[in-house]
Amino acid sequence: MLDMKRIAIISLAFCVIAVGPASAQQYFDFNAQVLVPNTVGGNLTLYGVINNNGQVDTPLPLDFANFEYTIVVTNLNLLATGFTQQYAGGTVVIYEDAATPGDYTAPATFSDGVALLSGSLVSLGRTMFTSSMGSVSGSVDWSGGSRIDEIAPADRLGWSFLSGISTRSTVTQPGYDENWDGKTEPQVPIVPTDESSWGEVKSQY
């Protein structure tokens, strides 16, 4: 059976999605629970856990051994319905927390840490292929957070926000509408903004 990330990739087959060598890939891999609005004007909300855990490079170095990393989307406004729902205006934040694990019965536990990155979901499309399966494609611009300065200004814009959707009860928590298994990734791999010393440069040759 295809997993949800593969479904999302198939649905966007003519886009360039993680086609480079594995060593060049960088993204925040997340698994999340989502509340979906019923009518135009309502807001979509997402609470998730980032779970790369050393399997794929993250755009910023993260310490999974000592911290939990969560992603929260709020106030993502539904603009239009149809085969693909259109959203915009949401806030997305990535948090680091060493104290309280995220608990889907207590959503505040996903946002009680340090905000590493914050920004806006400039646009997002949500498409359902069946009653229980779909995909998401959106764009993120980062603008704040305690580690925003580690990303060069030109690299903060236009990050992909991609996900598969499932409404199956085996993966969707009680009280939520959908499970999103996805990622957000920069257009190109992020490099440190600090300048290398001459000695560091020479050591590469």
pLDDT reported for residue 191: 74
Q: What percent of the chain is predicted at pLDDT more than 90?
A: 78
156/136 Cα distance (integer angstroms): 20
- Domain housing 128: 4-202
DSSP 28-49: EEEEEEEE--SSTT-EEEEEEE
Average pLDDT over residues 142-171: 97
Check if the beta carbon of residue 100 is closer than 8 Å to that of residue 129: no
- pTM here is 0.83
pLDDT reported for residue 25: 85
Segment 76-127, tens digit of pLDDT = 999 999 999 999 999 999 999 999 999 999 999 999 999 999 999 999 999 9
Q: How many helices (H) and strands (E) does the chain have?
A: 2, 9
Segment 119-151, tens digit of pLDDT = 999 999 999 999 999 999 999 999 999 999 999
Residue 14 has pLDDT above 70, yes or no: no
110/169 Cα distance (integer angstroms): 21
Tally of structural domains, the chain = 1
